[in-house]
Structure 1
Amino acid sequence: MACASALAVEPLSQGQSVRASVAKTLQPSWSLDLKAGDLVQGKVVGDVSLRLLDARGNPLRLLVDGADMSRDFMFVAREDGQYLLRAEQLSTRPQAEFTLTLSQVLALSEQQRAPAALLSPALGQLAEQLKQGATTQAFWKDREQQGTPLVEALADSPNERLVTFLWRGARQNVRLFGSPSGGHDALQRLGDSDVWYATYRVPSSARLSYQLAPDVPEAGDRRTLLATAQRDPLNPHSFGNQKYEPSLTRSVMELPDAPPQPWLNKRAHVAPGSVERESLKSEILGNTRDVYVYRPAGWNNIDQQPGLLVLFDAHAYTHQVPTPTILDNLIADGLIPPTAALIIANPSDETRPVELPPNADFARFMAQELMPWAKQQGLATDARHTVVAGSSYGGLASAWLGLQHPELFGNVLSLSGSYWWSPPNTEDQWLARQYAANPRLPLRFYLQAGLFEDKSGSPGAGILDSNRQLRNVLQAKGYPVEHVEYASGHDYLQWRGSLACGLISLIGKSPETPEACVPVALR
């Protein structure tokens, strides 16, 4: 360790430490020869300040304030040339001794972020092959034959899998819409190859739908990815648009332990119910909407207490989720009583976020217009056999209507309900606080959320956490609650199975839960 001269400006090099003392008339300095963009890091031990100067002695930046606790410093050279580090005395510690260490000088060319470690063994093997001069041709041929995403076992965790989403040949970026993280994640490029990838460690019971968006324009907000989003071309399993239009269809990932969904497909031996689309005008809301009326086969000859399902978001629950077929099969299997359904459409995209979050006028519409109209259709039943249901905002609306009108809706079926919601300028999770503040009502609940709907690291609660909080509030108040979590996201692919399980839970005819409705972790 060198000792600084009182007058000379000595050079300082990476890894070097120097010891010196400072006084009012003595401000030792050291010189650094740097290139533009160099990242400089170091440390001072002792009660002095340290200032950065240019070659002419003009101050550029105070690196260390000796009066503060931090003694580490860091700066980036603005241009090529010589720089000075000057120690300065503190008035409270005259003639202090100190040590200055220059820990690192990192050139701009060395500052590229190291690629993340490859979790996928298959990609690790490919990376080694590419280093030896191989191409990706064989890798992509395997993917064409075996499909995507790439799924690999974990020797140390049989209940998990490594899942790698892949895209071939993008120019600048690829985004994953519907990822297990709950976000719109960026895929990484494997070196300079045509392989773009994102790998996740997920439960072996995971189920989700997704799209990939290559070469998303940099301008615009997060919705811009919809401009190129499409189903995975190497995944043969699709969900959504029945015409299989790539931009309107999502690809399906279902791992081996994903719970079965046995009530989705029409059965030749099951008589289908009828579905009629009606138009209902609301004087309260000042708009008109479609309502799809489902009546099970043999509805006019029922000799038992019927059920009624009131379900939001008809655009999804008549297309992506085959609600009439689900009801046909549940009734045929003897799992629920003959149950009619009102599947309610939104007048427009703009009305949905206004009407479904707790809205007094919408609650009046449901109680004073929709339900009396349903009675005229011959669909009336008592509240104990009526289920109000929905997903996302629809789940929030269902729980709100149960609170407002338990005399009409005795069962709340909520799929990934948006319980983080609150009115403007209020604390989040407003509805949970309303349930906590009110007396217990004659209501039953089925709450489902996805493990991929976590919002860790973000302000406020997300879907998963806010559903757990509502569950806690309801249980503390003494409500009957079935709360289930699946390895899924905010996803109709999961909700179409959970809708059936929720109906079985709330108005089912058997005390036993079908295996398809038991989350894998509980089996």
Structure 2
Amino acid sequence: MVFTSDGSDWIATFAVGDAALPPSTTAVFLDVNCVTDRSRIPAGSMHRDTDSRSWLLSVRVPAGWRGAYTFIPSNAPLTVPEGDVSQRQWWIDFRRGAIGSFEGAAPDAEPQRLRTGAPPEGILTAETVELDGIPRRVGTYVPPVPGHGTVVLFDGDEVRRHRVLAAFDDPANAPARVLVVDHVSADGQERDVRASDLTANPRFRDDLLAYAGEPVTVGGCSYGGLASMFFALTRPDAVRGAACLSPSMWWHDEQGHDVPTLAKADNGGDVPILSEVGSLEWMMLDEVAAAADRLAAAGHPIRSGTFAGGHDWVQWRERLPALITELLVTQSRRAESA
């Protein structure tokens, strides 16, 4: 990947050689998280350079960008069907042919200091817990030098895969434990219950908080960010703070109610909420900003910001523990001054 400065942004040039692609390839799509996608197929269609025997494409990314990308070869023209349902299924099927999973970072991207890639050094155990009537795996991570407080993180499979737990090994800011929740049933049927768990589900919320047994700091990304906000707004007795990364504020229940409405958030609240969304998440920037403004107007202690990226664990793996740590430090200082 080659970066060329273009004012306040960067032009990133991506390349993939013929040798890395199937012999039948006639088209290649460059999938850069929230830069090219199924709604912008022409913008992600690579061009073959016969001299170098490779496929090339240049795209614009913001200053400080860091994100995931992949190459998707095809032996047919890249034609998206009409209709949202058909487009989504086409995209799912199309992405199954992706070649590799890569990461890129602009020259001015902030280094990731918390997520180093090293494995966590503490002890991770797991047990099967029934939440909302469905057994699933809940892990408990104890840092090498346990601190104070309990953290709850959603999407345990991604948390483990991206080694997020290692970010809590610093004894200066370590919690006493981190609970990581999986959203696949542990009854042998492997049912995916993520959507039902994380979309304003009071049964899941109350069962998980009861299992924790003490006030917690919650954090999550996407649907997990939405759930974190729901927990904070509806159970201030059991939640000390919430880190909400790219929260899916577009979600509404069958009656058209969003999470702030379901939580009666307009009545105010006092649980600190830290919310961030990627500057490239064009599909949800307005919803997240509107929700933050609404909560702030009602008196909730919320801070909303952006990071230079998309809907992407490459960003979340750093920003999630950073916000959680900020909340823990604030809680510790308040306890010391009390």
Please state if 1:277 is matched with 2:126. yes
Q: Which of the numbers 132, 136, 144 marks the counterpart of 1:289?
A: 136
Could you say which residue in structure 2 is the equivalent of 1:319?
161
Please state if 1:372 is matched with 2:231. no
Please state if 1:495 is matched with 2:336. no
CA contact (8 A) 1:167 1:174 kept: no
Which one has a bigger Cα radius of gyration? 1
Could you say which residue in structure 2 is the equivalent of 1:167?
16
Alpha-carbon spacing, 1:272–1:222, altered in 2? closer, same or farther (3 Å): closer
Could you say which residue in structure 2 is the equivalent of 1:255?
106
Alpha-carbon spacing, 1:188–1:230, altered in 2? closer, same or farther (3 Å): closer
Q: Which of the numbers 437, 450, 457 marks the counterpart of 2:278?
A: 450
Give the alignment of 1:210-221 within 5 angstroms.
210-215=69-74, 221=90
- Residues 114-146 of structure 1, C-alpha deviations (whole Å, 9 max, x = no match): xxxxxxxxxxxxxxxxxxxxxxxxxxxxxxxxx
Alpha-carbon spacing, 1:180–1:221, altered in 2? closer, same or farther (3 Å): closer
Please state if 1:328 is matched with 2:169. yes
Please state if 1:152 is matched with 2:4. yes
TM-score by structure 2 length?
A: 0.81
- Residues 85-120 of structure 1, C-alpha deviations (whole Å, 9 max, x = no match): xxxxxxxxxxxxxxxxxxxxxxxxxxxxxxxxxxxx
Using CA pairs below 8 Å that are at least 6 residues apart, which structure has the higher relative contact order? 2
Could you say which residue in structure 1 is the equivalent of 2:302?
481
SS of the equivalent of 2:220 reads strand
**What is the number of equivalent residue pairs in this alignment?**
308
Output the CA distance in 1 between the equivalents of 2:228 and 2:31. 27
Could you say which residue in structure 1 is the equivalent of 2:176?
339
Give the partner amino acid of 2:26. Answer: Q
CA contact (8 A) 2:265 2:298 kept: no
Please state if 1:310 is matched with 2:138. no
Output the CA distance in 2 between the equivalents of 1:420 and 1:324. 29
Give the partner amino acid of 2:29. Answer: R
Alpha-carbon spacing, 1:510–1:359, altered in 2? closer, same or farther (3 Å): closer
Output the CA distance in 1 between the equivalents of 2:12 and 2:195. 34
Alpha-carbon spacing, 1:266–1:164, altered in 2? closer, same or farther (3 Å): closer
Give the alignment of 1:24-103 within 5 angstroms.
none
Give the alignment of 1:150-229 within 5 angstroms.
150-154=2-6, 157=7, 159-169=8-18, 171-181=25-35, 183-184=37-38, 185=41, 186-189=44-47, 194-215=53-74, 221-229=90-98
- Aligned-pair Cα RMSD in Å: 2.8
Higher share of residues assigned helix: 2
Output the CA distance in 2 between the equivalents of 1:357 and 1:178. 27
State the shift of 1:266 in Å.
Answer: 7.3
Output the CA distance in 1 between the equivalents of 2:31 and 2:48. 20
Percent pairwise identity: 23
CA contact (8 A) 2:15 2:54 kept: yes
| Structure 2 unaligned spans of 5+ | 80-88, 185-189, 334-338
Output the CA distance in 2 between the equivalents of 1:495 and 1:257. 18
State the shift of 1:342 in Å.
Answer: 0.5
Output the CA distance in 1 between the equivalents of 2:271 and 2:160. 27
Q: Which of the numbers 262, 286, 292 marks the counterpart of 1:471?
A: 292
CA contact (8 A) 1:161 1:203 kept: yes
- Residues 158-210 of structure 1, C-alpha deviations (whole Å, 9 max, x = no match): x3211122234473221222344252443142587754333222223000011
Output the CA distance in 2 between the equivalents of 1:373 and 1:230. 41
Could you say which residue in structure 1 is the equivalent of 2:115?
264
Alpha-carbon spacing, 1:151–1:511, altered in 2? closer, same or farther (3 Å): farther
Alpha-carbon spacing, 1:182–1:342, altered in 2? closer, same or farther (3 Å): farther
CA contact (8 A) 1:432 1:469 kept: no
SS of the equivalent of 2:183 reads coil
CA contact (8 A) 2:66 2:105 kept: yes
Alpha-carbon spacing, 1:406–1:281, altered in 2? closer, same or farther (3 Å): same
Could you say which residue in structure 2 is the equivalent of 1:411?
241
Please state if 1:423 is matched with 2:253. yes
